[in-house]
A = this chain, B = another copy of it.
Amino acid sequence: MPDTPPTPVVNQLPGETLPYVMSAGEGARYEIDGRLFTLIARPEDTGSLFGAHYVSGGRGAEAPFAVHATEHQTVVVFDGLVHFWLGDRARILAPGDTVSIPAGTPFAYRFASNYTRILLYSAGGASLGLVPRVGLPVDAHVHPARPEHPVTVDELRDVGAEFGIGYPDLQKTDAALQHDETRPAGTVPYFLSSGEGERTRTFNQLNTFLSRGENTGSDYFAMHTTGAKAGYIPLHFHQRHTENFLCLEGRIWLHVNGREVLLTKGDFVHAPAGTIHSFSLDSNHTQMIGFLAPSIFEKFFDYMNEPTTDAVYPEGGEFFFPGEGFARAQAELDLVVVGAPPARTVALDV
């Protein structure tokens, strides 16, 4: 932990491993064929642990089949409806649905709503270097009303080869709605419907594994949290892994090295190792997704929660704290508690 923890950078990519906050819509922005690519984390911002970007666009915007040689990816649908192809399977996805894409798996998508937005999280993230190479830098925070910068598959193939990305010549078959309930074992491609995965619960909260280290080659795991309004958790930091907070719904207050920020849908915070942080869910049925890289912290949730088949968090009841699990997490895992839950400083009264 540094002596004077750096306060987070706001709404700009730091270009070095510092904590930072990126509001929804902000980031490095490029148009490719009518789609808006918004880069919110590049390898140079994350110590090459990961990259993350949004793609948004209108009805009919689409990507050709792509395959990454080395990077495991997770896709989260934020808005709209998406036809998604993964290996030989096809789905229509809605907000909250996710896709786990191991290296070597071909995937493609087509947007079916007037405004559709997906997030792509990539282990390593070097492949994001493609975007500034083929995309048109833009000032707008939304996709253009009609495509202004067409890019052919041949152009993508030429540049993609440098970044380990191939563009196989596959057909987009018919996609359909289907409910996918299971996170499988191992490094295999899979879809998960909103609210599905491996659910665990604790006081006033449901923590659902969207992926574990076994699914991602230990590069990261992804945790979906829903819960009731609650105060901050104790201030803490991690020494060997980074944590990334994405607000999917509702309101979240985040304490990041002494600065308090409000996250609403699409807002992102990168907390590299050493960042003192805490969070507080601040509206009913708030939803947060955490990406933790590498995956060394996943047992924290096993220690602090119990498995459940319920699909909604338990609200109310008597307060309880799994003290034994917490002690075990402190002893075994990468967790250093440095303070009590912080007081709110800029909180609103509504």
Contacts and interface: CB of A to CB of B under 8 A. Distances in A.
B92 A95 contact: no
A93 B115 CA distance: 15
Which of A56, A112, A195 is the most central at the interface, judged by chain B CB atoms within 10 Å of its CB? A195
Interface string A76-119: 00011100000000001011100000000000000011110000
Could you say how many copies of this chain the assembly holds?
2
A262 B350 contact: yes
B194 A114 contact: yes
A139 B79 CA distance: 30
Interface string A182-196: 000000000001111
A115 B285 contact: yes
Interface in A1-45: 10-11, 21, 23-26
B264 A312 contact: no
Interface centre among A146, A226, A284, A350 (most CB of B within 10 A): A350
B114 A193 contact: yes
Given A23-B350, A283-B25, A145 B114 contact: no
B265 A265 contact: yes
Interface string A146-172: 100000000000000000000000000
B141 A228 contact: yes
A179 B11 CA distance: 36
Contact of A96 (B113, B193, B314, B316): B113
A264 B251 contact: yes
A312 B262 contact: no
A144 interface: yes
A133 interface: no
Contacts of A146: 310
Given A140-B316, A264-B251, A284 B115 contact: no
Nearest to A226: B115
Interface of A: 10-11, 21, 23-26, 56, 58-59, 79-81, 92, 94-96, 112-115, 139-146, 177, 179, 193-196, 226, 228, 249-251, 261-262, 264-266, 283-285, 310-316, 346, 348, 350
18 contacts: A59-B179, A79-B249, A81-B94, A95-B95, A96-B115, A112-B177, A112-B179, A113-B193, A114-B193, A114-B311, A115-B311, A142-B312, A142-B313, A143-B312, A145-B312, A146-B310, A250-B264, A264-B283
Given A114-B196, A265-B265, 20 more contacts: A11-B350, A21-B350, A23-B283, A23-B350, A56-B285, A79-B95, A92-B177, A94-B95, A113-B194, A113-B195, A115-B194, A141-B228, A142-B285, A142-B315, A144-B312, A145-B314, A177-B177, A262-B350, A264-B264, A266-B283
